[in-house]
Structure 1
Amino acid sequence: MTQVATVRGPVAGTELGRTYMHEHIFTLTTDVQQNFPQEWGDEDARVDDAVAKLGALAAQGVRTIVDPTVIGLGRYVPRIQRVAGRVPELNIVVATGIYTYESVPFYFYHRGPAIGRPDPMVDMFVKDITEGIGATGVRAGMLKCAIDHQGMTGGVERVMQAVAQAHHRTGTPVTVHTHPGSETGLEVKRVLCDEEGVDPRRVVLGHSGDSTDCDHLSALAEAGFVLGMDRFGINTATTFEARADTLVEMCRRGYAESMVLSQDASCYIDWIDPEVMPLLSQWHYLHIGDEVLPYVREHGVTEKQIETMLVEVPRRVLEGNG
């Protein structure tokens, strides 16, 4: 039976249940938090808040979340272990990789290819997957990289290539932050799949739901990718209805088997001034269950399609980790 790595240890794919494929717990600018602790506040209070929010999500019937917080997003697994230990009904899958839109972190500038040697990123990612992250023993169950409107910069390409090599060595699935308005999924296809040989069926194109261009999304699905309809609740550049109607149309076209759902929410994110957060009133873990699913049901999405997007496709993607 295929096992999937989670924070509390491996679980059978059959135990994943309803799964949100892109939810953060803490999204942090680590240097700021470490040097200006007043911005973070009380550690125990932050953990308590996360436990309450994730407990409410589990009470909705969600059994697993993938937290793609990696280098560049403030990953700190010991804190996630504290949270996971207090929400035993929820599986948390963590990730390895690097989040950048442009250059690699300075640590990597004069290592690896710069001096004619293999890229150290690859071994770092593989260790996170096969041995565990730091001294925690927690194994990553997902690889993560990113490309945004800046396109395929040298740094983005280097990280993507390292992710591909780690994928080939471990079989671990890949999630990619994309910018569908710039059709960066096509660049992911070129580098990750056409050049590096990663099967697109093992790749989630994150934030595909930022686009309402169903023809473009359909082409990516036809190429084999899994589309992350995973920013429900972020309605600044779009609307609730636009996101939901896109999902409805893609289901009508027969692509439920090529989509996963999520909200890209966090218990705490320091990228946004707390005074702004009330303007994002739907951006939270319960939004899909409370508002999105009732809306799409009313507009023709079937229970079978919902089960496919929330249970069957995530299990198919994650079980590939072996």
Structure 2
Amino acid sequence: MSTVDTVRGPVATAELGRTYMHEHIFILTADVQRNHPGEWGEEDARTADAAARLRALAAQGVTTIVDPTVIGLGRDIPRIQRVAEEVPELNIIVATGLYTYDSVPFFFRHRGPALNEALGADVPDPMVDMFVGDLTEGVAGTGVKAGMLKCAIDHEGLTPGVERVMRAVARAHHETGAPITVHTHPGSRTGEVVKRVMCDEEGVEPSRIVLGHSGDTADCDHLTALADAGFVLGMDRFGLNLETTFEARADTVIEMCRRGYAGHMVLSQDASCYIDWIDPDVMVFLPQWHYLHLGDDVLPYLSEHGVSAEQITTMLADVPRRLFEGS
């Protein structure tokens, strides 16, 4: 029986059910919050609010979420454990990796590959061992094992820092078999860079990689080419409609289903209970960016426009299950 690690322990992949593959609980700037915690407020109140939001999501029939919050996004596993204890009906899969669009954090600047030239030796990258440890031993002594790997490439492209993280994630994948999600910028066609670096050069099978935020483009020919290469497309920013619209995101999924690619897509919202990157006053301009938008608005729209119940089940249950089973 195939299993995947969650915050509360291993779960059979057959029991994952309806799965949202990209939902954060908290996105925080850790140093700022630790030193200037005023906006965060009371820990118990934040935890209770998150649990209430996640219970509402579970009440819609969602049984699993993947929280790809890693280094660079304020990951705090003990905090997530406290939330998970209040929502036993929901599986929460956490991730390991590093989130940057440019440089690596200073911690890594003079460790690993950075020493190669100075020492005239092939120095292993400590990132790989850190990621593997999170997946096989658990995160920070909590006993919670990550179930997914995460990296990013945005419009800045393949900077040295981005490339280093990408290769470290690929190597951790080979040691553990964990699937990968990559934050991409489809307008810059960074999925093609992921293919070259992670697949062609590092040997990761495209079927084990979710190209996150693929739904940020309506270029279905580009998405079709990536799906034909074997990738899973993350149509995972429903509700985040500052530079696009609800209809554009949904119509892209409809067209890709019409072309026969439901088996290459996952759906999600990239929402969170609290994100300190955005002034709370700005959030009023994103009224659909929350956990319930998919169930309340997107799925009915897809159904009304020709996406079958079978295709919806494929995107929400079958593709996530296959990702974690490695098949």
Fold agreement, TM-score > 0.5: yes
> Equivalent of 1:169, from 158, 167, 175?
175
Correspondence for 2:93: 93
What secondary structure does 1:318 align onto? helix
| Distance (Å, rounded) in 2 between the aligned partners of 1:55 and 1:319 | 26
**1:170-209 to 2 correspondences below 5 Å:** 170-209=176-215
Q: Amino acid of the residue matched to residue 213 of structure 2?
A: H
* Residues 231-251 of structure 1: CA deviation (Å, up to 9, x unaligned): 000010000000000000000
**1:240-319 to 2 correspondences below 5 Å:** 240-319=246-325
* Residues 74-101 of structure 1: CA deviation (Å, up to 9, x unaligned): 0000000000011000000000000000
Correspondence for 1:218: 224
* Residues 281-320 of structure 1: CA deviation (Å, up to 9, x unaligned): 0000000000000001010000000000000000000223
What secondary structure does 2:65 align onto? strand
Correspondence for 1:76: 76
Matched residue pairs, number? 321
Correspondence for 2:61: 61
| Distance (Å, rounded) in 2 between the aligned partners of 1:58 and 1:114 | 45
Cα displacement (A) at 1:278: 1.0
**1:130-145 to 2 correspondences below 5 Å:** 130-145=136-151
Cα RMSD between the aligned structures?
Answer: 0.7
* Residues 68-125 of structure 1: CA deviation (Å, up to 9, x unaligned): 0000000000000000011000000000000000001110000001112100000000
What secondary structure does 1:168 align onto? helix
**1:146 corresponds to 2:163:** no
What secondary structure does 1:5 align onto? strand
* Residues 179-234 of structure 1: CA deviation (Å, up to 9, x unaligned): 00000000000000000000000000000000000000000000000000000000
Correspondence for 2:39: 39
Q: Which runs of no fewer than 5 residues in structure 1 stay unpaired?
A: none
What secondary structure does 2:287 align onto? coil
| Distance (Å, rounded) in 1 between the aligned partners of 2:36 and 2:214 | 35
Correspondence for 2:24: 24
Q: Which runs of no fewer than 5 residues in structure 2 stay unpaired?
A: 117-122
**1:15 corresponds to 2:15:** yes
Scaled by the length of structure 2, the TM-score of the pair is: 0.98
| Distance (Å, rounded) in 2 between the aligned partners of 1:97 and 1:40 | 25
> Equivalent of 1:125, from 118, 127, 131?
131
Identity %: 76
What secondary structure does 1:271 align onto? coil
| Distance (Å, rounded) in 1 between the aligned partners of 2:89 and 2:106 | 39
Q: Amino acid of the residue matched to residue 190 of structure 1?
A: R
| Distance (Å, rounded) in 1 between the aligned partners of 2:114 and 2:228 | 37
Q: Amino acid of the residue matched to residue 227 of structure 2?
A: A
Runs of 4+ residues over 6 Å off in structure 1: none
Q: Amino acid of the residue matched to residue 237 of structure 1?
A: E
Cα displacement (A) at 1:145: 0.2
| Distance (Å, rounded) in 1 between the aligned partners of 2:193 and 2:139 | 29
| Distance (Å, rounded) in 2 between the aligned partners of 1:86 and 1:268 | 17
Correspondence for 2:52: 52
What secondary structure does 1:220 align onto? helix
| Distance (Å, rounded) in 2 between the aligned partners of 1:273 and 1:319 | 39
Scaled by the length of structure 1, the TM-score of the pair is: 0.99
* Residues 253-279 of structure 1: CA deviation (Å, up to 9, x unaligned): 000000000000000000100011111
| Distance (Å, rounded) in 1 between the aligned partners of 2:113 and 2:219 | 38
What secondary structure does 1:96 align onto? strand
What secondary structure does 2:182 align onto? strand
What secondary structure does 2:234 align onto? strand
| Distance (Å, rounded) in 1 between the aligned partners of 2:139 and 2:86 | 20
